[in-house]
Structure 1
Amino acid sequence: MHKSFKVENRLDYRILRWILAVALISGVIVSAIQVVLDAQRVSTDLDNQASQTIAMVKDASTQAVFSIDADLANQVVDGLFAREAVRLAQILHANGEPLSSRERPLTESVFRPLINWMFGAERQFRTELMRNGNSDTVYGYFVVHYDTAPAANIWLGRAIVTFTSVIATAVILGMVLYFVFYMLLTRPLLRIVNSVKQVDPAHPDDRLIATPSGHEKDELGHWVKATNTLLIAIGKSQERQREAEDRVSRLARYDQLTGLLSRDSFMDMLQADIEESKRNHTLLSVIVCGIDDFKSINDQCGFRTGDLTLQTVADRLMSCLNGSRFTIARLGGDQFVIVEKGLKDGFQAADTAEAILARISETMGVEGHNVSMTATLGIALYPSDAIQPDRLLQSAEQTMMLAKQKGRDHFQFYVASIDQEIRDRKQLEKDLSQALAMDQFHLVYQPQIDLQTKRVIGAEALLRWEHPVRGLVPPDYFIPVSENNGSIVEIGQWVLEQACLQAKLWADKGLPLRVAVNLSAVQLRQDRIVDDILGTLKRYDIPAGRLELEVTETSFMTNLSDAVAKLHALNRAGISLAVDDFGTGYSSLTYLKKMPVQHLKIDKQFIRDLLINEEDTRITNTIIDLGRSLNLTVVAEGVETAEQEYYLSQRGCKLAQGYFFSKPLRPAVFETFVQGFHQKIIENNA
Structure 2
Amino acid sequence: MADGLSIESILNQSLDLIAVINRDFTFAFVNDSYCRQAGLERSQILGRPVSELQGSDPASARMNTVFHRAFAGDMVEYLDDYRVGAVAKYMHVSYSPYHHDDESEVTRIVVSARDVSRLSEMESRLTRYEFLDPTTGLFNRRSFNVILEKEIYRAHRSAIPAIHAILLVSLQNFAELHQTFGPEMADVLLENTGLRIRQTVRESDYVFRYEGNDLTVLLTNIARTEDAAVVAKKIHEEISVPYSHQGIDTKVEAIIGIAAYPEDGETSSSLISHANSAVIDARNRGLAYCMYNREVFEHAIARITLRSELQRAFEHRQFILNYQPFVDVHGMPHGAEALIRWNHPTRGLLMPGVFIGLAEETRLISSIDRWALFEVCRQLSEWSDLPDLFVSINISAKDLLDEYLVEVVALALKKAGNVHPGRLKLELTERISMDDPDVSIRTMEALIELGVDVWIDDFGTGQSSLSYLKHLPADVLKIDKVFIDEIADNDEDREYLESITRAIRSRGKRIVIEGVSNGDQLAQLQNIDCEYLQGYYFSRPVGPQELYRLVTAGERLPMERPT
- TM-score, scaled relative to structure 1: 0.43
Aligned to 1:665: 542
What's the offset of the Cα at 1:581?
Answer: 0.8
User: Structure 1 residues 552 and 679 mapped into 2: Cα distance closer, same or farther (>3 Å)?
Assistant: closer
Measure, in 2, the Cα distance between the counterparts of 1:424 and 1:485. Answer: 16
Aligned to 2:296: 418
Alignment of 1:560-575 (within 5 A): 560-575=437-452
Give CA-to-partner distance per residue, 1:579-617, whole Å, 9 cap, x none.
111111113235413321111111123223222234543
Alignment of 1:251-266 (within 5 A): 257=134
Pair 1:335-2:210 in alignment: yes
Aligned to 1:537: 413
Amino acid in the other structure paired with 2:210: Q
Q: How many matched pairs?
A: 336
Give CA-to-partner distance per residue, 1:330-382, whole Å, 9 cap, x none.
7686523548xxxxxxxxxxxxxxxxxxxxxxxxxxxxxxxxxxxxxxxx9xx
Measure, in 1, the Cα distance between the counterparts of 2:404 and 2:539. Answer: 35
Amino acid in the other structure paired with 1:505: E
User: Structure 1 residues 613 and 478 mapped into 2: Cα distance closer, same or farther (>3 Å)?
Assistant: farther
Give CA-to-partner distance per residue, 1:614-652, whole Å, 9 cap, x none.
454344223311221111111011213333223223121
- TM-score, scaled relative to structure 2: 0.52
User: Structure 1 residues 292 and 662 mapped into 2: Cα distance closer, same or farther (>3 Å)?
Assistant: farther
Pair 1:528-2:392 in alignment: no
Amino acid in the other structure paired with 2:550: F
Alignment of 1:534-683 (within 5 A): 534-541=410-417, 542-678=419-555
By relative contact order (CA 8 Å, sep 6+), the higher-ranking structure is: 2
Measure, in 2, the Cα distance between the counterparts of 1:322 and 1:532. Answer: 47
Pair 1:448-2:326 in alignment: yes
Aligned to 1:495: 372
Aligned to 2:77: none
Pair 1:405-2:262 in alignment: no
Measure, in 1, the Cα distance between the counterparts of 2:428 and 2:482. Answer: 17
What's the offset of the Cα at 1:671?
Answer: 0.9
What's the offset of the Cα at 1:558?
Answer: 2.8
User: Structure 1 residues 599 and 387 mapped into 2: Cα distance closer, same or farther (>3 Å)?
Assistant: farther
Aligned to 2:152: none
Kept after mapping to 2: 8 A contact 1:448/1:460: yes
Kept after mapping to 2: 8 A contact 1:600/1:634: yes
Alignment of 1:275-314 (within 5 A): 290=141
Measure, in 2, the Cα distance between the counterparts of 1:457 and 1:499. Answer: 16
Measure, in 2, the Cα distance between the counterparts of 1:424 and 1:480. Answer: 14
Aligned to 2:344: 467
**Counterpart secondary structure, 1:664:** coil
What's the offset of the Cα at 1:394?
Answer: 8.1
User: Structure 1 residues 629 and 431 mapped into 2: Cα distance closer, same or farther (>3 Å)?
Assistant: same
Kept after mapping to 2: 8 A contact 1:460/1:517: yes
Measure, in 2, the Cα distance between the counterparts of 1:510 and 1:629. Answer: 32
> Could you say which structure has the larger radius of gyration?
1
Aligned to 2:388: 512
Kept after mapping to 2: 8 A contact 1:549/1:575: yes
Measure, in 2, the Cα distance between the counterparts of 1:448 and 1:553. Answer: 20
Q: Percent identity?
A: 29
Alignment of 1:10-29 (within 5 A): none
Amino acid in the other structure paired with 1:425: R
Measure, in 1, the Cα distance between the counterparts of 2:426 and 2:469. Answer: 15
What's the offset of the Cα at 1:545?
Answer: 0.7
User: Structure 1 residues 558 and 468 mapped into 2: Cα distance closer, same or farther (>3 Å)?
Assistant: same
Aligned to 1:300: none
Measure, in 1, the Cα distance between the counterparts of 2:454 and 2:390. Answer: 12
**Counterpart secondary structure, 2:463:** coil
Kept after mapping to 2: 8 A contact 1:444/1:667: yes
Measure, in 2, the Cα distance between the counterparts of 1:638 and 1:470. Answer: 27
Kept after mapping to 2: 8 A contact 1:290/1:400: no
Measure, in 2, the Cα distance between the counterparts of 1:582 and 1:385. Answer: 50
What's the offset of the Cα at 1:511?
Answer: 4.6
User: Structure 1 residues 407 and 630 mapped into 2: Cα distance closer, same or farther (>3 Å)?
Assistant: same
Amino acid in the other structure paired with 1:536: A
Kept after mapping to 2: 8 A contact 1:604/1:639: yes
Write 1 or 2 for the structure with the bigger share of strand. 2
**Counterpart secondary structure, 2:435:** coil
Measure, in 2, the Cα distance between the counterparts of 1:400 and 1:322. Answer: 35
What's the offset of the Cα at 1:530?
Answer: 2.2
Alignment of 1:212-361 (within 5 A): 257=134, 290=141, 335-338=210-213
Measure, in 2, the Cα distance between the counterparts of 1:625 and 1:257. Answer: 74
Measure, in 2, the Cα distance between the counterparts of 1:289 and 1:566. Answer: 57
Kept after mapping to 1: 8 A contact 2:517/2:537: yes
Superposition RMSD on alpha carbons, in Å?
4.2
Pair 1:439-2:439 in alignment: no
Measure, in 1, the Cα distance between the counterparts of 2:517 and 2:479. Answer: 14
Alignment of 1:92-107 (within 5 A): none
Kept after mapping to 1: 8 A contact 2:457/2:479: yes
**Counterpart secondary structure, 1:422:** helix
Measure, in 1, the Cα distance between the counterparts of 2:233 and 2:425. Answer: 44
What's the offset of the Cα at 1:290?
Answer: 4.2
What's the offset of the Cα at 1:469?
Answer: 2.4
Write 1 or 2 for the structure with the bigger share of helix. 1
The gaps in structure 1 that reach 5 residues or longer are 1-254, 265-287, 297-317, 340-379
Measure, in 2, the Cα distance between the counterparts of 1:628 and 1:405. Answer: 66
Kept after mapping to 2: 8 A contact 1:294/1:334: no
Amino acid in the other structure paired with 2:268: Q
Give CA-to-partner distance per residue, 1:249-305, whole Å, 9 cap, x none.
xxxxxx9956xxx599xxxxxxxxxxxxxxxxxxxxxxx994698879xxxxxxxxx
User: Structure 1 residues 385 and 466 mapped into 2: Cα distance closer, same or farther (>3 Å)?
Assistant: farther
